[in-house]
Structure 1
C-alpha cells in the first residue's frame, strides 16, 4: 500500500492501514492503468477498511491508483457529483446510517 500518497500525519486516521487487505501485497498491483484498475479493485472487495481507505483518498484528492475499491475515474466522478462534501468519512457514515434506517 502506498502510504506516502496519504497527506495526513494524524496517526489515529492511519490506524486503518494496518487492517487493510492490501497491506502485504505488491503496491504496484493497485497502481495500474485503464481497464486493469477494475481487476485491481477486486482486492478491496472484502476489505474491512474499504470505506476508510476510499474516504481518505477522496479527502486527500489522491489522483492515482485504486483506493477503497474505487478506480481513479470513479473517485473523480464522486468528487464532481458532490463538490459540497468536506469529509468523505462523514459522508459515507451518513449514507451507511441512511441505508440501515431504510432497511428497518
Structure 2
C-alpha cells in the first residue's frame, strides 16, 4: 500500500469522529426547554433559533430532523419550512446523517479543528 492515507485515516489522526455522537441528545442546549422548540407562537421562534446557535450538536439534530422528515418544531436552528425547502432541493439524498457528518468532518479537517464529543 502507498504512503497516502485514506480520508478516514487522516480524520482519525486529527481527532475527527468517523461516527455519530451517541450522546448528542444529552448535550443539546434544548434539554428541558422542549416547549420552546415546539411552540405554536412565532413569539418564541427567534428565541429557539438563538438557543441553537451555540449548541454543540447541531449537525446531529439537523440530520435527525431531515432524515425523519420532521414537519414541526425547530431543529438545529431551522424551521419546518426551511427543512422542507431543502428536502425539495435535494431529493436524492438518501442519508442526511452521512452527508452532514461527512461535511462536518471535511470542514474540521480543512480548518484543522479538533473534535470532541464533550459539551463545551
Q: RCO higher in 1 or 2 (8 Å CA, sep ≥ 6)?
A: 2
Q: State the aligned residue count.
A: 92
Q: Which of 100, 113, 119 is the equivalent residue of 1:92?
A: 100
Question: Conserved in 2, the CA contact under 8 Å of 1:38 and 1:71?
Answer: no
Rounded to whole Å, the distance in 2 between the matches of 1:76 and 1:29 is 21
Q: Go from structure 1 to structure 2 and tell me whether the alpha carbon gap of 1:14 and 1:63 turns closer, same or farther (over 3 Å shift).
A: farther
**Aligned-residue offset at 1:86:** 1.1
- Please name the residue that 1:24 is paired with: 32
- Between Structure 1 and Structure 2, the one with more helix by share is 1
Is 2:86 the counterpart of 1:78?
yes
Q: TM-score, normalised by structure 2?
A: 0.64
- RMSD, aligned CA: 2.5
In structure 1, list runs of 5 or more residues that go unmatched: 1-11
| Greater Cα radius of gyration, structure 1 or 2 | 2
